[in-house]
A = this chain, B = another copy of it.
Amino acid sequence: MSKNVRIALDAMGGDHGPSVVVAGAALALEQNPDTSFILVGDQTLIDPLLAAHPKLKAACRLVHTDVAVRMDDKPSQALRNGRWKSSMWLAIDAVKKGEADVAVSAGNTGALMAMAKFNLRMLPGIERPAIAAMWPTLKGRCIVLDLGASIGADAEQLVDMAVMGSAMSRVLFHLDRPTVGLLNIGVEEVKGLEAVREASRILREEPLPHIEYVGFIEGDDIGRGKADVVVTEGFAGNIALKTAEGTAHQFADYLKYAISQSIWSKLGYLLARPAFRMLREKMDPRKSNGGVFLGLNGVVIKSHGGTDPEGFAAAIDVGYEMVRDELLGKISVTIRRHAGEPEVARAVSGAAS
């Protein structure tokens, strides 16, 4: 892997398209000057935007296409209409061809996942992909997966997710042996938890390098920071994520309303403004932007569709760290079913180079 991190951007993805992508890339470049970009999208829209960012212009190559996946395209539509030619496909394809180390898109999740799976294929030893993201906690941050790539998971798939999540945590948090918990519910002797229980048995009895298994954790333990990595299947994971976002919003709305109710409250707000700024910063969804598609033969990052340049830069930064700290290699050395098989490690490091 060259020292320079090469990032392919789907310039047409997201609610705001190139305006946010270009400005976000410029911010990300300031943060990590050892980055080069491939910008894929409509040249007539991108060129004028690049003119305002000479440094970025010098560090990027533009690949023109006038096909873009729409935010409401179904995955099958996106594949049918956008394969080989859309900005989303071509950004992923740059990773496939070894021209980029990571692809970042704010386009629609289903389409991005479908194209990434179709083009990059799965890592050897992993059955299916998962979406992982950072989650703010009282202690800092943790990683939660799967946030909706698949619904349901058997024990082996949950263990795979523990492996992939721990690799991501080692990259992002620089931990040697992250704590990993399985999301579960507190009711005893309820039927239907067989997969989660069996995954727990495997993680307890067949200890994996780089995983400190801490057992079951409940929904309220995520925000407490009880584990560095929280593993669950995609239905519950997606609902947990969205519910947490909704609750944070609700809290902020109540607070705003309550403060608007009297002149004294407003004055108090002015005095305590740095505190509110600290709160906003801590709960800022832009800081946690960047869902990582794990399990693929390449690194693909999904940014929130509605984010601003700062949020998009955060997603690029997640991709940058994944590449610099060799996420794929870290996953491969921990994959349980293939532990010690050198050809797997070779195949993986080949794909990631």
- Determine which of B113, B192, B223 lies in contact with A247 in the assembled complex, contact meaning CB atoms within 8 Å: B223
Alpha-carbon distance A247/B138, docked complex (angstroms): 10
Q: Is the CB of B265 within 8 A of A238?
A: no
Interface residues of A in 210-259 (CB under 8 A from B): 218-224, 232, 234-236, 238-255, 257-259
Residues of B within 8 A of A113 (CB): 187
Interface residues of A in 270-303 (CB under 8 A from B): 270-276, 278-279, 282-283
Q: Is the CB of B238 within 8 A of A188?
A: no
Alpha-carbon distance A264/B271, docked complex (angstroms): 5
Interface residues of A in 35-66 (CB under 8 A from B): none
Q: Is the CB of A244 within 8 A of B247?
A: yes
Q: Is the CB of B259 within 8 A of A242?
A: no
> Which residue on chain B has the smallest CB distance to residue A267?
B271
Residues of B within 8 A of A272 (CB): 258-259, 264-269, 272
Q: Is the CB of B220 within 8 A of A243?
A: yes
Q: Is the CB of A189 within 8 A of B241?
A: no
User: Is A80 positioned at the interface, with any CB of B under 8 Å from its CB?
Assistant: no
User: Is A76 positioned at the interface, with any CB of B under 8 Å from its CB?
Assistant: yes
Residues of B within 8 A of A249 (CB): 220, 223-224
Residues of B within 8 A of A246 (CB): 219-224, 244
Q: Is the CB of A188 within 8 A of B275?
A: no
Most buried by B among A148, A193, A218, A246: A246
CB-CB contacts of A65-92 with B at 8 A, as 1s and 0s? 0000000001110000000000000000
Q: Is the CB of B137 within 8 A of A250?
A: yes
Q: Is the CB of A188 within 8 A of B219?
A: no
Alpha-carbon distance A129/B14, docked complex (angstroms): 43
Q: Is the CB of A191 within 8 A of B275?
A: no
User: Is A1 positioned at the interface, with any CB of B under 8 Å from its CB?
Assistant: no
User: Is A175 positioned at the interface, with any CB of B under 8 Å from its CB?
Assistant: no
> Which residue on chain B has the smallest CB distance to residue A136?
B250
Q: Is the CB of A261 within 8 A of B238?
A: no
> Which residue on chain B has the smallest CB distance to residue A240?
B243
User: Is A28 positioned at the interface, with any CB of B under 8 Å from its CB?
Assistant: no
User: Is A2 positioned at the interface, with any CB of B under 8 Å from its CB?
Assistant: no
Q: Is the CB of A187 within 8 A of B240?
A: no
Give the interface of A toward B (CB within 8 A): 74-76, 109-110, 113, 136-138, 148-152, 183, 185-193, 218-224, 232, 234-236, 238-255, 257-259, 261-262, 264-276, 278-279, 282-283
